[in-house]
Structure 1
């Protein structure tokens, strides 16, 4: 697939009350430091709507999610008239505009300007074609914009100090800009101002670069940029390198395009948060220590969202990048004392659990970053044993968890916290076993069974307990919140990724387990607002899908369709996955896409397999979507997926062979990375 065929607007038709992805149309390179996007309104977080014809400007953004917010953002505005009313919205035509990963082309009808932009890792280029006889003005607009300075080479630098949340109130971004015709219209000032206004000739190329380190570093970053074409070629090459890893031959071109649009979204986050100086040193600004530090850093990532799908995908497609991410997250541990949970730009403390633990374990069992495992293990144990006075860090309710074997209803999301902590304990046992610490491995393997303490055999679901060991008395399995995260007991009770056989035993056997899963899917998609006290968008999104309580719109339900296969009913999984894939429309997701996590779910499910559990190094089979897929892996290995009788009417797998050998319901990562051929034949009815 040619990257220039991708439309970045998939999932952007969202609002506070209902998400169709809550994505942004981002132009830039994979895992970049900056992205450019179109801003259509002045909403604080939902500032782009694909159907709006209004145009506020090109937004330099670092927003990973509307629920997290943006930091160090600005607007590039190009105008030929009304330059004093800079908050006025212009009109543009979204139908004739181009939204691609490497290129944005906007026809500003109000100003009679055609705007083109392209972006690399840390900067980009903007070019405008002025169709009027009025002079062209470049307006840079941001909150807390200051320190404008003209450099000896004719470029300009300035500083921005705005963010949604950060440990350092003085955390800033410096921006350097240059163009042959660029001149400043106002007197230089050190005071904070809302706008900078420049003169710019039509068709002149404005080059810009940013830095979180200094004005000098921004100038150096700018010196590496030479032309619009150079920057665009870099962006195209970076995306094509990823796209060329997966080559698809299929008779449904629309589905192939949807696949690659999801692949694009899978490689946007985490975002780069480090720079390389003129001497080749890699540096980043630590907002926790409030100073420049050596080494790489990545940010804008929530591990609770991505551990199930995104990082397992990186382990197969770009394992070296995976190792680089881990090293940077360990650097965050060195600076804060805890492994991060949700970075943007520093610890936000969102969502339960310390799920980086299982991402580390998944890397280790796949042979990634093994030399760093002893260091990572110490960091994981620190989070498992040491409570933080700041709830953003580590495990909230940890002392209860250690003493009672669960987190009580004294803490919000107590059931999810307990299940996540048990999963992380299991991940620690996996790492400890790898490095030969058998006693440590045994201790955390035993503690990982704490999930059993909240299973109520009377309801067949997980339930909150008080700190005296009693079940809460006001339990309703349709209540959202009240111990659960963004869902009820139905969506969250099966989050025992590390020990599905043990969970099945709690139900009394496979038949009872499958019966409960079937009950989950076959009931009405209704809910009670519970402790949320109001209808939240996740509730609406679950009810919009005809899948009962299987809220594929949110991460805790991602694995639910595949539990049938793990319990010996693969045809149930095949039927469900085939239906769910249809909910990923041409323009929509069934819920928040969240940092590539839902896109990665689609990628995995299209291939016909899914990560069984991060840290296990194995995959459970589903049903493939394409006639033939070829994955180009490390060490020149190739993995080919071939699907016979591939048609929408055929919703079941009749046979499956890997390298001409019959397969069970799972396959290991070690088998896949050696390369080979997976052949699947589909059928109308189960055989």
Structure 2
């Protein structure tokens, strides 16, 4: 595969504005098209340009793909088929409760395959709070969003017929054009499974101009003048009374609770408000959250990449709650189909986001973590299991018990609004039983506790599951110990060592083992699948986040582990497709990186570089981290080296660019790297600030020569959560040559279970 470089990936659009002076507001740096030039075969992010507010219940996006396609938007496509209210967290998970709005000029075309309007990127503007496109036919569409609503501003091309199409998709839907001819209401039930039978998204749309005429379509049969439709697939089209030069303003809001709640959301968020005021409100909200992290001293491109990544981090998980007439939070439960008081969040794969997204929230946005942790327990109360991949209910995807990690990490950092007894009950239950999918609860639990590992081939992805379960058990032991349950702490701390049972010291890799204790033969560390999830042994061998010291001893000591880490980047980037049977996109992306066996485009290995700090070789981490940031990220349409995944690949960059990373969520500390910027300031919710001041930092000076924390000499390879939230300054002197005597003492090394 062709080697990926920043220069090769930058789009012509971004190259054309290089060096432009930006305003101080973070939103002005964001390119929402970052990572949108993806396909099924190869991902540069698999993102779409979401117009939204942080953690919004609904996003809005131009749709270039066909209805219900997970690949809803591609930078390479030439037409837009609609403007879609979307809840899609990933093309692999797909969408639910979605519908679209599309202005049509000239001949009326209803099908999404026929009504697409051509456009060029030179006539497009994409921001977190705003999207505008002028089609080749002369019609322009602008949209901006609130948490549960949106406003469109449409200018039709002159001297053509004008229509507005509301597509309620297939999957069960209904649309109604109101008798006063100003509203279109309806519902959609489309989803990708795992929701109660009464699931629906109810919407209300209001035009600022009367509807002259219109009709509806039921199951692809259109009827002029028919004002209602209900069926498997419905659609409404109207002719608004708008003249040349006039604006058509379209306001919309929706609810997962009821039509009445949809109207309440409409009245609260968009009724009587102008397009420009909503646009300004959304910009203010984005800037308020983004301003909590201010980076300085980088290039324009680095600033664009950083804040484009931060934008992605702040999208998911989405709010799934609304506010009743008394302004109290309520939500439709995607687990039991009832309406409850409180908070619910969804659209998150914890296998991805436990690593950096949620740790970033606990540090910079703890008020959001408060509600998310409450939501996780609410899901347990309503379904009997903690969520692992929710969209909007339990979905069968990925592995592990990473809900336990998220709850523990928040708890150990002082976010303690959940009931401790109930939480421990939920955690223990999650480890002992399997839920409606193998990814919910613990697949292979009986074998895991009996044998100390999950056997292969009895259970697919068994070695990866063993490693993740051992880490989750460590998290559970930490939580139990913090609330005085020493019995549970001792029991699960024992299970936290189960990673040893799948590590073969004779080859220096983790591998599959059968139920009789025999290693699966033949073994090749470059073979994907089988006992591993979306990777090979090269990628999963490092998944002992809670005990890198113990891992090092299995290798034969710090030096031996260091050599194996070195070889991660020097080994040939060869592979065997294994049980996948073909080159999955993650394999193609690893090969394209040309960085040996390092596969940054997927999550299992994203912490591995930081492990150099645990064996007293921090300068190697500094070198590789800067290399990854510079080579594998940019703000263009090919901005990522794999799936972005609900903010995780972005959160890695946000943390790493500031200069530290949460290698082991559940332990309130962060491992140092090499900051990308000369200065990064975190404005904490408690009113304090923490600054990383990297003096002399530039493209060559990637190494930490020496450091001071709040004026005192600092040799450690890690910061504690308490040190950061307490405020202060970490002053680093950067150099172009490594300081191989700094960060080498045992006291300098980050946390490990077996660190003495």
**TM-score, normalising length from structure 2?**
0.89
Bigger Cα displacement from structure 2, 134-143 vs 534-543: 134-143
Residues 513-522 or 285-294, more deviating: 285-294
Give the CA deviation at 1:290.
2.4
Structure 2 CA distance for partners of 1:465 and 1:412, relative to 1, 3 Å: same
Matched, 1:407 2:454: yes
2:719 matches 1:670? no
Note the 1:622-637 alignment, pairs <5 A.
622-637=673-688
Counterpart in 2 of 1:207? 251
1:22 aligns with 2:73: no
Match of 2:195 in 1: 167
Shift of 1:135: 4.1
Of 112, 127, 142, the match for 1:100: 127
Residues 1:137 and 2:163 are matched in the alignment: yes
| Residue deviations 1:380-418 (CA, integer Å, cap 9, x gap) | 011112344653420000000011111000101101111
Q: Aligned to 1:188, which of 227, 235, 240? A: 227
Query: Matched residue of 1:148: which SS?
Result: strand
Give the whole-Å Cα distance in 2 for the aligned partners of 1:256 and 1:674: 26
- Indicate if the aligned counterparts of 1:4 and 1:101 stay in contact, CA closer than 8 A: no
Superposition map of 1:42-53 within 5 A: 42=66, 44-53=69-78
Task: Please list every run of 5 or more consecutive structure 2 residues that lacks an aligned counterpart in the other structure.
Answer: 1-23, 216-225, 740-756
**What residue ranges of structure 1 are gaps of 5+ in the alignment?**
none
Give SS of 1:296's match: coil
Q: Following superposition, which runs of at least 4 residues in structure 1 exceed 6 angstroms of deviation?
A: none
Whether the aligned pair in 1 keeps the contact of 2:461 and 2:530 (CA below 8 Å) is yes
Q: Which residue of 2 aligns with 1:597?
A: 648
Q: Which residue of the other structure, out of 522, 528, 540, is the alignment partner of 2:588?
A: 540
Partner of 2:600: 552
In 1, Cα distance between equivalents of 2:519 and 2:665: 30
Question: Retained in 2: the 8 A contact 1:268–1:596?
Answer: yes
What CA deviation, in whole Å up to 9, does each residue of 1:461-480 have, x standing for no partner? 11111111111122211110
1:166 and 1:346 in contact (8 A); partners too: yes
Deviations 1:465-501 (A, max 9, x none): 1111111122211110110011100100110111111
In structure 2, the residue matched to 1:519 is 567
Distance 2:86 2:433 in 1: 36
Q: Find the aligned partners of 1:310 and 1:161 in 2 and give their Cα distance.
A: 30
Distance of 1:300 and 1:504 partners within structure 2: 36
Find the aligned partners of 2:156 and 2:353 in 1 and give their Cα distance: 43
Corresponding residue number in structure 1 for 2:661: 610
Among 347, 354, 358, which residue is 2:405 paired with?
358
Q: 1: CA distance between counterparts of 2:291 and 2:446?
A: 49
Contact 1:283 1:296 survives alignment (8 Å): yes
Q: Secondary structure at the match of 1:400?
A: helix
SS in 2 for 1:52: coil
Within-5 A mapping of 1:176-575: 176-183=204-211, 185-186=214-215, 187-192=226-231, 193-200=233-240, 201=242, 202-224=246-268, 225=270, 226-227=272-273, 228-369=275-416, 372-388=419-435, 390-409=437-456, 410-575=458-623
Task: Indicate the larger mover: 455-464 or 271-280.
Answer: 271-280
Q: Distance in 2 between matches of 1:404 and 1:57?
A: 54
Q: 2:55 aligns with which of 31, 36, 42?
A: 31
Q: Secondary structure at the match of 2:690?
A: strand
Check the 8 A contact 2:123/2:135 in 1, yes or no.
no
Per mean C-alpha deviation after superposition, the further-off stretch among 57-66 and 364-373 is: 364-373
**Given that residues 388 and 394 in structure 2 are in contact (C-alpha distance below 8 angstroms), is that contact kept between their aligned partners in structure 1?**
yes
1:649, CA displacement in angstroms?
1.6
Of 675, 687, 706 in structure 2, the residue corresponding to residue 655 of structure 1 is 706
CA distance in 1, matches of 2:64, 2:237: 21
**Are the structure 2 counterparts of residues 198 and 315 from structure 1 closer, same or farther at C-alpha, using a change threshold of 3 Å?**
same
Bigger CA drift: 79-88 or 479-488? Answer: 79-88
Match of 2:79 among 36, 51, 54: 54
Report how far residue 660 of structure 1 moved. Answer: 1.8
**Number of the residue aligned with 1:585:** 634
Write the distance in 1 (CA, Å) between the matches of 2:106 and 2:201.
29
Structure 1 SS opposite 2:122 = coil
Q: Which residue of 1 aligns with 2:3?
A: none
What is the rounded CA distance, in whole Å, between the counterparts of 1:390 and 1:50 in structure 2?
Answer: 34
CA distance in 2: counterparts of 1:218 and 1:639, whole angstroms: 42
* Cross-structure match for 2:4: none
CA contact (8 A) 2:410 2:416 kept: yes
> Does the Cα contact within 8 Å between 1:151 and 1:157 map onto a contact in 2?
no
What SS does the corresponding residue of 1:506 show, helix, strand or coil?
Answer: helix
* CA-CA distance at 1:672 after TM superposition: 0.7
TM-score (structure 1 length as normaliser):
0.97
Q: Distance in 1 between matches of 2:701 and 2:463?
A: 39
- SS for the counterpart of 1:185 is strand
- Report the CA distance shift for 1:136/1:255 in structure 2 as closer, same or farther (over 3 A): same
Q: Greater CA deviation, 243-252 or 542-551? A: 243-252
What is the CA RMSD across the aligned residues, in angstroms?
A: 1.6
State the shift of 1:319 in Å: 0.5
What is the deviation of 1:375?
2.1
What residue in structure 2 maps to residue 6 of structure 1?
Answer: 30
Deviation at 1:74, TM superposition (A): 1.4
**Separation in 1 of the partners of 2:519 and 2:96?**
43
